Structure 1
Amino acid sequence: MNNKTDFSMSTLDAFVGKELGVSNWLVVDQERINQFAQCTGDHQWIHVDVERARKESPFGAPVAHGFLTLSLLAAMGMEIGLVPKDAVASFNYGLNKVRFIAPVKAGARVRARVSVAEVTDQGGGRKLVKLNNTMEIEGEDKPALIAETLAVLVGVA
């Protein structure tokens, strides 16, 4: 087992300690950063003032919001296939730990690497899944972030 084609609600436990997959690379461009700033109201210059960031930022360029980078985990997880095909629903249950390790400069490419850390049967067809996520930055030694996320997967009871 542990082949991704075997990934189902009944086999989740067999994937504990295993990597589920790696997402495709995604460009975090200035437009995405600006849209996130507009959506959240976080217009700090280090994110949205390109000229000032080039001149004054210790990174020499604008950088993505940490929470923008964190939010990308949801779509990347779906791309990887974190929700088994036989699950009837999945819910974000929260975060245990997040650390923002390195900034993501505007124009950088990132991808998520995800593994299953723990599975807890909650009864009624529900399973709490703890995932270890690493957001890698192309060409960088350090990841953008590491995050321990929680999801509740619901199968047929």
Structure 2
Amino acid sequence: MSIPGYRMATLAEFVGRELGTSDWVLVDQARIDAFAQCTGDRQWIHVDVERAKRESPFGATIAHGYLTLSLLASLAIEIGLIPGDASSGLNYGLDKVRFMAPVKAGSRVRSRVTLLSVEDKGDGRYMVKMANELQTDGASKPALLAETLALLVA
């Protein structure tokens, strides 16, 4: 997506504003299993569908918290976090992360991003801080709240 008027030179004008909301992304069992395979985190609550139906307080397997966290970068890019006149955007870190509610297998999530601050780092580089709210379709509270940092390079 493209955010009207959002460029490297106008970043500061967007502080305090919502940049946008991503499209919905399906977090299905195949994605959860692939994440478990990549990370080695094969805890039953994530990968054992039958046991999770029987024993989990959620009645189903749930996504890893770090899986939901890892979605934020691509969803922010989809929204248009990296202005068209930037050469790149680099993940820089996290300031706050809270896993607020589980994401059951088969759920759809999306991210709402608000620009919190911009810091000129010189040489055409800007550190931006975003508030990310990962929402689950049909849920009353967000799955995840996180403040993320990115370095945008002209």
**TM-score of Structure 1 vs Structure 2, range by shorter chain:** over 0.9
Give the aligned partner of residue 53 of structure 1: 52
Three-state SS of the structure 2 residue aligned to 1:4 is coil
Give the aligned partner of residue 119 of structure 2: 120
Give the aligned partner of residue 104 of structure 1: 103
1:139 matched to 2:118? The reply is no
Please, which runs of 5 or more residues in structure 1 have no aligned partner?
none
Task: State the Cα deviation string for residues 50-94 of structure 1 (Å, max 9, x = none).
Answer: 000000001000000000000011111111010000001111000
Tell me which amino acid in the other structure corresponds to 2:87: V
Give the aligned partner of residue 27 of structure 1: 26
Give the aligned partner of residue 44 of structure 1: 43
Identity of counterpart residues, as a percentage? Answer: 62
Give the aligned partner of residue 84 of structure 2: 85
Q: Give every structure 1 segment of 4 or more consecutive aligned residues whose post-TM-superposition deviation is greater than 4 Å.
A: none
How far off its partner does 1:4 sit?
A: 2.2
How far off its partner does 1:128 sit?
A: 0.3
Three-state SS of the structure 2 residue aligned to 1:42 is coil
Q: TM-score, normalised by structure 2?
A: 0.98
Task: State the Cα deviation string for residues 93-133 of structure 1 (Å, max 9, x = none).
Answer: 00000000000000000000001000000111110000000
